[in-house]
Structure 1
């Protein structure tokens, strides 16, 4: 048993590469910031201006869109060796990861569409402007803001499921799956 525990702390060589790990943890940081900002920023109404925490939410969102895009491109071009898990766990993992990626794309894009409909400029690092993806005043894009808020909670639930799965691997199965993404 002692050697099994020591085994869990050795580096896992068949895991994700350094770029994948960096992008994963960058997205974790940005999503964490978005939830904190989103929960504390004022409600958005018809005449709300993108100032203060709302401006921060837009800026972090622009960075998140870029980081997720890079992460998807990297993942599609640099697949790690599959984890040594049962076929049923592999299915659960693939479905959960697929839904996470989908939510990580849809939630920010809906927020971007809502911002575009309000004629709010989205800029990466406050410099590089993103194009508007909805016409100013679009009622559909305004509704996308509400959907953005609801799906953010779905994303949160998927994150909890993902973290729970990692902890299940570490403490229940006592395998090395979680170590694949640790620095």
Structure 2
């Protein structure tokens, strides 16, 4: 008889999670390889891709939050201490907040530069600040700072998942991984 496994997230929740992770990875690679943005920089090439992926992350997280509002997360392992349970909850909500705020700040900054922001290089998005806006320009600086905060938080999230897997051994990591469970036969 095998030990009981922790309840897992459904396939849609796992898809949202891993799609967000993949887009974030792409976004950080774009950010680190694109040219520096200066006063006369044009939104072409990697910069245009960075803008588009940012919009995709923003929209994906909104859809993910809508999904989550009507599909509850599976219960956490009972062995998880209340302090870790609270820390996990606050960390997840802070991740969601930054996954929305960081793209919005970048989008507002692009709008203040009078750059067109598109989704998938085809669907135009409305400007979030007027061209020349000092607030939009300032949000570009905050975008950079909070992008680093988001990266640090993602790193902590990954470290926590590995801690659960290899130290606590409580099945938390398996809740977000694809499952290959066999249906139990009646004689078991």
Q: TM-score, normalised by structure 2?
A: 0.89
Query: In structure 2, how many angstroms separate the alpha carbons of the residues matched to 1:41 and 1:126?
Result: 17
| Residues 1:127 and 2:122 aligned together | yes
Query: In structure 1, how many angstroms separate the alpha carbons of the residues matched to 2:70 and 2:111?
Result: 31
Matches within 5 A, 1:1-150: 12=5, 14-84=7-77, 85-150=80-145
Query: In structure 1, how many angstroms separate the alpha carbons of the residues matched to 2:115 and 2:13?
Result: 32
The offset of 1:43, in angstroms, is: 0.9
Contact kept? 1:37, 1:57, Cα under 8 Å: yes
Contact kept? 1:62, 1:123, Cα under 8 Å: yes
Aligned positions, number: 176
Query: In structure 2, how many angstroms separate the alpha carbons of the residues matched to 1:62 and 1:107?
Result: 10
Deviations 1:71-111 (A, max 9, x none): 11111111122202221111110111011111111100000
SS at match of 2:129: coil
Query: In structure 2, how many angstroms separate the alpha carbons of the residues matched to 1:14 and 1:173?
Result: 16
What stretches of structure 2 of length at least 5 have no aligned partner? 179-188
What stretches of structure 1 of length at least 5 have no aligned partner? none
Find the counterpart in structure 1 of residue 184 from structure 2: none
Shift >3 Å, 4+ stretches: none
Task: Give the CA RMSD over aligned residues.
Answer: 1.5
Contact kept? 1:14, 1:80, Cα under 8 Å: no
Contact kept? 2:7, 2:74, Cα under 8 Å: yes
Query: In structure 2, how many angstroms separate the alpha carbons of the residues matched to 1:128 and 1:138?
Result: 23
Q: Which structure has the larger Rg?
A: 2
The structure carrying a bigger helix percent of its residues is 1
